[in-house]
Amino acid sequence: MNLNFHILEYLNNATIVHHIDHSGKVWATDKRKIIFYKNGQWFAYSEFPFCSPRDFFSLTRPSARAFRSDKCNVYVNKAGMVLGIRGGVVYSHVKQKAKPLFNIQGDCVLHGSICEDEEGWTYFGEYFMNKARQPVRIWRISKDLLEWEIAYQSDSGMIRHVHGIYRDPFHENVMWVTVGDFTGECYLLRTDDRFRHIERYGDGSQIWRAVNLFFTRDHVSWLTDSNLEPNHACRMTRKDGSLTIGQSIDSPAWYGCTLEGGKWHMAFTTVERGPAVLTDTSSILVSQNAFRWQTVSGFKKDFLRPMQVFKYGVISCPSGDMQLESFYLSGEGLIGLDGKSIRARITVEQGGE
Burial of 231 (0-12, 13-18, 19+ CB in 10 A): buried
pLDDT at 1: 85
pLDDT in tens, 93-120: 988 899 999 999 999 999 999 999 999 9
* CA–CA gap between residue 73 and residue 227 (Å, rounded): 25
Instruction: Provide the whole-model pTM.
Output: 0.97
**Class for the domain spanning 2-349:** mainly beta
pLDDT at 352 over 60: no
pLDDT in tens, 147-190: 999 999 999 999 999 999 999 999 989 999 999 999 999 999 99
The SS3 of residue 307 is helix
Half-sphere exposure of 40 (CA within 13 A, CB side): 1
pLDDT at 353 over 50: no
pLDDT in tens, 34-51: 999 988 889 999 999 999
* CA–CA gap between residue 307 and residue 219 (Å, rounded): 35
Give the distance, in angstroms, between the CA of residue 148 and the centroid of all CA atoms in the same chain.
Answer: 22
pLDDT at 122 over 50: yes
pLDDT at 306: 97
Average pLDDT rounded to a whole number, residues 333-348 = 97
pLDDT at 74 over 90: yes
pLDDT in tens, 231-252: 999 999 999 999 999 999 999 9
pLDDT at 226: 98
Cα 249-131-148 angle, rounded to 5 deg: 90
Share the mean pLDDT of the chain.
96
**% of the chain at pLDDT higher than 90:** 95
**Contact assessment for residue 326 and residue 266, using Cβ atoms and an 8 Å cutoff:** no
- Contacts by residues 52-58 (CB-CB < 8 Å, ≥ 24 positions apart): 54/87, 55/31, 58/31, 58/32
* Domain coordinates in residue numbering, the chain: 2-349
Average pLDDT rounded to a whole number, residues 85-90 = 98
pLDDT at 139 over 90: yes
pLDDT at 287 over 60: yes
